[in-house]
A and B are shown apart, each in its own frame.
Chain A
Amino acid sequence: MLSIVSSSVAVTAAMAASLARLLKPGDVVFVSGQLGAGKTVFIRAAAHELGVGELVTSPSFTIAQTYAGRATIHHLDLYRLDGFDADDAVDLEPFFDKDAITFIEWPEQAKLFLEEPAVVVKLEHVDEHSRRISFLRPREDLKKSLEELVAGTRH
């Protein structure tokens, strides 16, 4: 299991930055977890690592935010899209762009028609400051790097 317990926001942000360095344009990353688990914190750190200078805020209401970094970064949040189905996929199409890296919070809301992710990041509450970070279903070419990343963090 590719999983660590992060003891602080700073460690979570460092993990996000390390993952970001492995990504390339066209990649989609799912970020799942409960309310308050740190999904936006994780994506903010990854976006900054990818060269985004602007403030990355929650897109729950607006559904999507786009930032200019070294690649275009799309940050989607499907929290409010409970009834989204394949007919509505057209609204999300602009964000699956081969030149952009796309992070998606609450992917469960629309998993039937989303692109296959490069990796699923799962964030779980441990206590007020600690979170379990798991990397699930990594694409074959990311496996080894993620294993090294997790092993490096444990020492």
Chain B
Amino acid sequence: MILAIETSCDDTCAAILDGDNLLANIVSSQTRFHARYGGVVPEVASRRHLELINLVVAEALTVAGVELGQIRRLAVTTRPGLIGALLVGVATAKAIAFACGAGLVGVSHLEGHIAANYLQPEPASPPFLCLIASGGHTSMIYVAAERDFRLIGRTLDDAAGEALDKGARLLGLDYPGGAALDALASSGDPAFASFPIGLDRAGNFDFSFSGVKTALYYYLRDAGAEMVQRRRADIAASYQKAVISALVKKVIAAARSLNCSQICLAGGVSANTVLRRRLGQECTSRGISLRIPPPELCTDNAAMIASAARFLPDAPHPEWLSMGARATGGLLV
């Protein structure tokens, strides 16, 4: 049985995985915690993680109905992220592993996102092309086997989720507004305005989302407040279309070039309704199977860290006592 901890981003997360059975998957932004402890401190701050970590771990054990003594392995995100935030998770995992005589394994957040696809209800198996799109990352990885990754493309500047969040902010929505932008766009006309699709003709699988954000800034500045107010949903839909089109076009082109018949999604942008619909249509018409984990496994969570840990060896004892955290690093490093 694996207890996994993830504190690399905004949420404090703990999960318990027993074989293929996910017994608990607790995230601090879930209503239960947020209503009680939600505050003004930036979520990424280490003191925020410190306040929540024991509560979140205790909740995971309660929901799973297991005792600490039953945990045989601890899995924890060690990279990438803010060192202070990561260390809250690493220190907690070490302490529990030490107390329980359990094994400990350090996991990369990005490997975790990919490994969300190995969880129920529809576990995928390699080979597949994985699009990781979130607020902090946008890359395409060819997963030949559970531990065999090939980077196919990546963003050269902003992440896709960042482009959606910042576009939302420019349109007057609260940050992070990716989900609010999606909702606003649902009643808008995506053909109303034209925004550039980054690296559309570059002939490679890299992404760029900085230009579309700047284009929106100038569009809003030149259009005038009255028009922007009246056509906000149309502008939101048009902007979102440009961001999502880049993802859809490149992932389909990459799958074709790799002759790959399975695409998996990972990261918070997987919840975007336009991405799901348009990529779904493209995949269906080309006979590609598309797998999208449920939303709670796409956004940051610890279940994905537990899932990735299944394919990794325990850190050697007692060297793991000096296991640290790293600000950088992604797959296999």
> Contact residues of A with B, CB < 8 Å?
34-36, 40-41, 55, 57-58, 60-66, 80-84, 87-88, 90-91, 94, 125, 127-128
Contact = CB atoms under 8 A, between A and B. Distances in A.
A135 to B, nearest CB: 22
A80 B175 contact: yes
B84 A90 contact: yes
B214 interface: yes
Contacts of B213: 35-36
Contacts of A62: 80-82, 136
A62 B83 CA distance: 11
B328 A66 contact: yes
Contacts of B11: none
Contacts of B80: 62
Nearest to A90: B84
B40 interface: yes
21 contacts: A36-B217, A40-B157, A40-B158, A58-B159, A58-B210, A60-B135, A60-B162, A62-B136, A63-B44, A65-B328, A80-B175, A83-B40, A84-B45, A88-B46, A90-B46, A90-B84, A91-B44, A91-B83, A91-B84, A125-B217, A128-B214
Contact of A61 (B46, B136, B328): B136
Nearest to B85: A91
Nearest to A67: B328
Interface in B133-169: 134-137, 154-159, 161-162, 166, 169
A87 B47 contact: yes
Interface residues of B, number: 41
Nearest to A65: B328
Given A57-B155, A83-B40, A36 B214 contact: yes
A88 B45 contact: yes
B318 interface: no
Given A35-B170, A83-B40, A61 B162 contact: yes
A128 B154 CA distance: 25
Contacts of A84: 42, 45
Nearest to A78: B42
Contact of B169 (A35, A55, A66): A35
Given A62-B136, A81-B42, A94-B83, A35 B47 contact: no
Of listed A34, A58, A127, residue having the most chain B CB within 10 A: A58
Enumerate the 7 nearest inter-chain pairs by beta-carbon distance, A residue then B residue, closest first: A61-B136, A36-B214, A61-B135, A91-B84, A36-B217, A83-B40, A58-B158
